[in-house]
Amino acid sequence: DLALSEAAAALEAGEVPVGCVFAHPARGVIGRGRNNTVASRNGTRHAELEAIDRMLDVDGVPPESVAECTLYVTVEPCLMCASALRQLRVSRVVFGAANDKFGGCGSVLSLHADGGASAAGDPPYPAVGGVRKAEAVALLRLFYAQENQNAPQPQKRTRKQLELGAEAARETQHLPGSERGGREPDS
């Protein structure tokens, strides 16, 4: 419920609705986060990293406490976040929706598992997906159904730009190594 609440707050703020909580077995929730990529104008400010930074830097949670936590997150951690979680030695990850484009816990790569890329031999962690998937997917659908006010405006190409592009393509087709008929230089 708490991770979904964080995701709903992200949606309300115009962010991709991903939320997470770090649950410690003895101390309960010790960290929470939600996507903050739009407001911060920083593509790395995912929910997991927001929560980690807040826990370690602001709240002073020792890193070894993170190693005892289960992360509950609405969407499968991306490759970057899955790697960070492994380096922090998180105990377990439970996620809702799979991340078919960037998932680091099985959808694209299995960075969480034995044989997954790890820094300095960091131990793997179990990851379980599909928990509260319907609610997580519903939030994502709401986000993608609305107009993103922060998306860059598509630019129409002027006739001059199109002519310059065509001219550049013609000029480069005769260069060595060009895919349009040029040949590789002799070695």
* Residue range 4-35, pLDDT digits in tens: 999 999 999 999 999 999 999 999 999 999 99
Residue 48 annotated among the catalytic residues of the structure: yes
Residue 44 lies in a domain: yes
Residue 177 lies in a domain: no
Residue 185 lies in a domain: no
Entry pTM: 0.78
Of the candidates 19, 119, 39, 40, which has an alpha carbon nearest to the alpha carbon of residue 79? 119
Q: Which amino acid is at 187?
A: S
Residue 97 lies in a domain: yes
**For 37-46, 122-131, 165-174, which range has the lowest pLDDT when averaged over its residues?**
165-174
Residue 24 lies in a domain: yes
Residue 158 lies in a domain: no
What is the pLDDT of the chain when averaged over all its residues? 87
Residue 152 lies in a domain: no
Q: What is the pLDDT of residues 105-161, one digit of tens each?
A: 999 999 999 876 665 678 999 999 999 999 999 999 999 998 766 666 666 666 666
Residue 155 lies in a domain: no
Of the candidates 34, 22, 3, 23, which has an alpha carbon nearest to the alpha carbon of residue 132? 3
Say which of 48, 64, 167, 171 is annotated catalytic: 48
**Does residue 33 sit in helix, strand or coil?**
strand
Number of domains in the chain: 1
* CATH number reported for the structural domain that contains residue 58 in this entry: 3.40.140.10
Residues spanned by the domain of 133: 2-145
User: For residues 21 and 112, what is the distance between their CA atoms, to the nearest angstrom?
Assistant: 18
